[in-house]
Chain A
């Protein structure tokens, strides 16, 4: 059976990708932020996952309002990145995977998540920034990525409780997959931020810290929020917490988790940036 090694939650702010491209990691603005990452990279290096399931949201590269799925999953051998319009450098293609993807799709449909399946899709900074953060220097080609997109842009969007249950169904699917693959799940985005409106710039550090504390052992305290409540507490784009909850949901059923890393830094761009690593008993 495939094994879930753990989950990583990280910000996916575009400015991070730009900073890495320009080699700004050691500059005063960025130093503290990037210093948080080596322990998580080391863990990945030690664990040698074969597959990374990455929960992210598309920001208008692959999906437009003409056909915007609520939940979508990739089932392709490769995923391309492309010009997003405002200057983040494109990264080399991301390696995909189809067998576990289709297994997950079957399991999801069987368990009442009628998901959109993409046999070709472009992945944007929501996925590429976390990938680059975990494997700098574009050294991610050996990891097979399964992109899972959650609508966090246009209301109505999936409820936190539903995002969690969706993640749980994906975790169950991984555990029922015949094979000896080692899998990590990643929740990307957040934490609190608001880009639009007169309330732009809103960040709620106490709420972010609360979320990072509760997601470890009491995620049910977070899944009871509505998306409107999340907008109020965490800003218009704070609903990206849904990706963290999907990641955490995937680890439900793994028993007690070991929190190996938690850090938080603000501001990065307009955002409170969190990084967290939760390991299962299957991890070395």
Chain B
């Protein structure tokens, strides 16, 4: 499979990215568990350390920067669990990544039906 394919605005989660993202994704996978979610909320920094996140991953998490999380190898399926922990909807996350407000993002979704 070609690694040169470039679709603007799309960060492909392939093998090398999954290798880079492993600690971040593993941490987010743990959020399936309510006790883990609480542990994270109590001390985020300790939780980053527990999963040995890279400095880039910690920085992206601290800033709640979803694009930076993806660039650090995050998989949206696991990042969604983090978004859920923060109480964000899928549309909130869409807005955060595209620079739109949630309402603008929702309107953008509706607009694509008008073709």
Contact = CB atoms under 8 A, between A and B. Distances in A.
A137 to B, nearest CB: 25
Contact of A194 (B10, B66, B85): B10
Interface string A9-50: 000000100000000000000000000000000000000000
Given A86-B83, A153-B75, A155-B1, A195 B15 contact: no
Nearest to B113: A266
B112 A203 contact: yes
A67 interface: no
Interface string B1-38: 11001011111111100100010011011011110010
Interface string B26-68: 1011011110010000000000000000000000000000110
Contact of A199 (B9, B80, B106, B110): B9
A30 to B, nearest CB: 14
Nearest to B78: A60
A198 B71 CA distance: 11
Contacts of B115: 205-206
A86 B85 contact: yes
A201 interface: yes
B25 A83 contact: no
Contact of A65 (B18, B76, B94): B18
B15 to A, nearest CB: 7
A197 B97 contact: yes
A184 to B, nearest CB: 27
A155 B13 contact: yes
A153 B77 contact: yes
Nearest to A271: B109
A270 interface: yes
Contacts of B85: 85-86
Contacts, number: 134
A52 interface: no
Contacts of A86: 80-81, 83-85
Interface stretch (A99-107, A160-168, A228-236): A228-236
Contacts of A198: 8-9, 67, 97-98
Contacts of A195: 76, 80, 90, 93-94
B21 to A, nearest CB: 8
A232 B7 contact: yes
Contacts of A201: 94, 98, 105, 108-109, 112
Contacts of B10: 194, 196-197, 199, 231, 236
A85 B18 contact: no
B90 to A, nearest CB: 5
B72 interface: no
A224 to B, nearest CB: 16
Interface in A228-284: 228, 231-232, 236-237, 266-267, 269-270
Q: Nearest 8 CB-CB pairs, A to B?
A: A86-B84, A199-B9, A85-B81, A198-B9, A196-B76, A267-B109, A155-B14, A203-B112
Interface of A: 15, 59-61, 64-66, 82-87, 153-156, 194-206, 226-228, 231-232, 236-237, 266-267, 269-270
12 contacts: A85-B37, A86-B80, A86-B84, A156-B15, A195-B76, A196-B10, A196-B97, A201-B98, A202-B112, A232-B7, A266-B113, A270-B90
Given A198-B9, A267-B106, 6 more contacts: A82-B32, A85-B32, A86-B80, A155-B1, A196-B97, A198-B97
